């Protein structure tokens, strides 16, 4: 089991989670990823490392709650555990030897681009960073990126931060103004990486792109992440995830990336129903807790709090979520806590002989 050390909301959609995994923390490098599974019933999903601390023995992941597993993952709190956390997987990004680089992150890809930019900066490379988001409210890791870059700019689709446009605009401008890049790294939506590569190809700049968005099982067995690079098909998970950006067939990759969209949509609906069911369970558990408290007090047992209090980190995370989503997540967390409290109450009731009064024969 792998202990969750901390959980932090970076925006209404994205969560940063720190996991205790000492052996992985000693070995993992920028560009590599882990596979995790929440519990026995869960699916395995790949998530790229955002940071690792060999001294504290922790690995940091950043994820967006868009699928069934990441929706469940977003409900976990510090002190919870993950059943499986395997890595490092994939190949590290080839960063050695770069003198001046431009690192580009699109949306959640910024979380993957950050450790690459930091490594380059820490090893004496001059680093410029461009990040792109739909709107300013979705910006993540702004301070961290500034700390490891000589120059940085954030672009937004709607211009809400004052810089409306796409990431290729400042890239082209900086190159034409004389930025002598010997490496450009791009991590983000496949279509964004396509146009970054088209831009740098005009100037003959070595370009690496990360194809982690199309990975599925992380071991090469499913074949879902096959990507055409030059004249051959490679697997993003075992041969990459980074490839020469001027050789990748992006149109083929985009077609492959939607192969499982119908299944993912079904899984999302099932998880939404599950969270809604847990919300209903929460209401039922609240009534039971009242009965448990009354029975416990009558039997001389300890007095229980009238409500479940979430830890400050989770409350802060819920505060920045969309209200409907926050309500569902809160209900799921309270239902989980209610079940745990009910189990404790059952043990106490059994020990005091009050079990029949609280639960009845049918429970």
Same domain (yes/no): 173, 250: yes
Instruction: Pick the last residue of a domain from 36, 54, 89.
Output: 89
- Vertex 331 angle, CA 326 and 335, to 5°: 150
Instruction: Pick the last residue of a domain from 224, 241, 259.
Output: 259
The per-residue pLDDT for 66 is: 84
The per-residue pLDDT for 315 is: 80
Instruction: Establish if 362 belongs to a structural domain.
Output: no
Tally of CB atoms within 10 A around 85: 21
Same domain (yes/no): 194, 134: yes
The per-residue pLDDT for 148 is: 95
pLDDT tens, residue by residue, 268-323: 566 666 666 655 665 565 556 656 655 665 555 554 444 456 777 778 877 887 77
Tally of CB atoms within 10 A around 151: 14
On whether the CB atoms of residues 90 and 119 are closer than 8 A, the answer is no
Instruction: Establish if 95 belongs to a structural domain.
Output: no
Same domain (yes/no): 165, 268: no
On whether the CB atoms of residues 19 and 61 are closer than 8 A, the answer is yes
Tally of CB atoms within 10 A around 246: 17
pLDDT at 339 over 70: no
Q: What is the C-alpha to C-alpha distance for residues 59 and 70, in angstroms, rounded to an integer?
A: 17
Q: For 110-125, what is the mean pLDDT?
A: 96
On whether the CB atoms of residues 226 and 235 are closer than 8 A, the answer is yes
The per-residue pLDDT for 95 is: 95
pLDDT at 89 over 60: yes
* pLDDT interval class at 69 (50, 70, 90): confident
* pLDDT interval class at 329 (50, 70, 90): confident
The per-residue pLDDT for 208 is: 97
Q: For 312-336, what is the mean pLDDT?
A: 75
On whether the CB atoms of residues 131 and 145 are closer than 8 A, the answer is yes
Instruction: For residue 2, list its beta bridge partners.
Output: 82
The tally of domains found in the chain comes to 3
Q: For 245-259, what is the mean pLDDT?
A: 83
Same domain (yes/no): 117, 197: yes
Instruction: Establish if 150 belongs to a structural domain.
Output: yes
Phi-psi region of 98 (alpha: psi -120 to 50; beta: other; left: phi over 0): beta
DSSP letters, 175-225, are HHTT---SEEEEES-HHHHHHHHHHHHHHT--EEEE-GGG-SSSSSSS-TT
Helices and strands per DSSP (H, E), number in the chain = 12, 15
Same domain (yes/no): 268, 218: no
* pLDDT interval class at 335 (50, 70, 90): low
Weakest mean pLDDT among 13-22, 50-59, 100-109, 255-264? 255-264
Quote the distance between the C-alpha of residue 346 and its chain's center.
Answer: 37
pLDDT tens, residue by residue, 200-239: 999 999 999 998 866 776 777 777 778 889 999 898 888 8
The per-residue pLDDT for 299 is: 59
CATH code for the domain of 210: 3.40.50.80
Instruction: Pick the last residue of a domain from 89, 113, 147.
Output: 89
Q: What is the C-alpha to C-alpha distance for residues 261 and 267, in angstroms, rounded to an integer?
A: 10
Same domain (yes/no): 109, 201: yes
pLDDT tens, residue by residue, 136-166: 999 999 999 999 999 999 999 999 999 999 9
The pTM is what? 0.72
Instruction: Establish if 363 belongs to a structural domain.
Output: no
| Burial bucket for residue 235 (CB in 10 Å: 0-12, 13-18, 19+) | buried
Q: What is the C-alpha to C-alpha distance for residues 45 and 80, in angstroms, rounded to an integer?
A: 18
pLDDT tens, residue by residue, 11-42: 988 999 999 999 999 999 999 999 999 999 88
On whether the CB atoms of residues 210 and 242 are closer than 8 A, the answer is yes
Please tell me whether the peptide bond between 109 and the residue prior to it is cis, using omega within 30 degrees of 0: no
| Burial bucket for residue 254 (CB in 10 Å: 0-12, 13-18, 19+) | middle
Same domain (yes/no): 132, 233: yes
CATH code for the domain of 17: 2.40.30.10
Instruction: Establish if 292 belongs to a structural domain.
Output: yes
* DSSP code at position 248: B
The per-residue pLDDT for 308 is: 58
Please tell me whether the peptide bond between 241 and the residue prior to it is cis, using omega within 30 degrees of 0: yes
Instruction: Establish if 94 belongs to a structural domain.
Output: no
Same domain (yes/no): 58, 110: no
Which residues lie closer than 8 Å to 54 by C-beta, 6 or more apart? 22, 25, 26
The per-residue pLDDT for 294 is: 57
The per-residue pLDDT for 306 is: 42
The per-residue pLDDT for 30 is: 95
Share of the chain above pLDDT 70, in %: 75
The per-residue pLDDT for 363 is: 30
Q: For 323-344, what is the mean pLDDT?
A: 69
Same domain (yes/no): 245, 149: yes
Instruction: Establish if 207 belongs to a structural domain.
Output: yes
Same domain (yes/no): 108, 245: yes
* pLDDT interval class at 118 (50, 70, 90): very high
Mean pLDDT of the chain: 83
Weakest mean pLDDT among 44-48, 51-55, 196-200? 44-48
Instruction: Establish if 81 belongs to a structural domain.
Output: yes
The per-residue pLDDT for 323 is: 77
Q: What is the C-alpha to C-alpha distance for residues 259 and 227, in angstroms, rounded to an integer?
A: 13
Same domain (yes/no): 120, 158: yes
| Burial bucket for residue 47 (CB in 10 Å: 0-12, 13-18, 19+) | buried
Same domain (yes/no): 110, 56: no
* DSSP code at position 345: H
Range of the domain at 295: 262-357
């Amino acid at each position: 089991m792998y202990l969750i050390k901390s959980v932090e909301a970076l925006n209404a959609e994205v969560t940063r989670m720190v996991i205790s995994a000492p052996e992985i923390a000693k070995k993992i490098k920028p560009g590599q990823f882990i596979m995790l599974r929440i519990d026995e019933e869960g699916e395995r999903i790949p998530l790229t490392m955002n940071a690792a601390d060999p001294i504290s023995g922790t690995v940091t992941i950043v994820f967006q709650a868009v699928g069934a597993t990441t929706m469940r993952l977003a409900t976990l709190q510090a002190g919870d555990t993950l059943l499986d956390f395997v890595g490092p997987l994939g190949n590290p990004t080839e960063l050695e030897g770069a003198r001046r680089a431009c690192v580009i992150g699109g949306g959640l890809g910024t979380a993957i681009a950050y450790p690459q930019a930091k490594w380059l900066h820490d090893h004496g490379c001059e680093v410029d960073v461009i990040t792109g988001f739909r709107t300013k409210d979705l910006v993540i890791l702004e301070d961290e990126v500034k700390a490891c870059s000589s120059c940085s700019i954030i672009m937004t689709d709607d211009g809400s931060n004052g810089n409306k446009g796409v990431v290729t605009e400042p890239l082209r401008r900086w190159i034409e103004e004389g930025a002598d890049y010997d490496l450009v790294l791009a991590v983000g939506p496949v279509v964004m990486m396509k146009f970054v590569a088209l831009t740098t190809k005009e100037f003959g700049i070595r370009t690496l792109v990360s194809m982690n968005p199309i990975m599925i099982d992380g071991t090469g067995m499913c074949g879902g992440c096959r990507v055409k690079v030059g004249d051959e098909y490679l697997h993003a998970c075992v041969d990459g995830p980074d490839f020469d950006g001027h050789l990748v067939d992006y149109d083929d990759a985009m077609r492959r990336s939607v192969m499982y969209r119908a299944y993912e949509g079904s899984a999302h609906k099932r998880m939404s129903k599950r969270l809604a069911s847990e919300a209903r369970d929460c209401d039922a558990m609240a009534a039971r807790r009242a009965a448990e408290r009354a029975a416990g007090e009558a039997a001389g047992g300890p007095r229980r709090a009238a409500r479940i209090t979430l830890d400050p980190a989770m409350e802060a995370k819920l505060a920045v979520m969309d209200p409907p989503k926050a309500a569902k997540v809160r209900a799921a967390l309270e239902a989980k806590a209610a079940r745990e409290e009910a189990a404790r109450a059952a043990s106490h009731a059994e020990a005091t002989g009050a079990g029949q009064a609280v639960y009845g024969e049918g429970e």
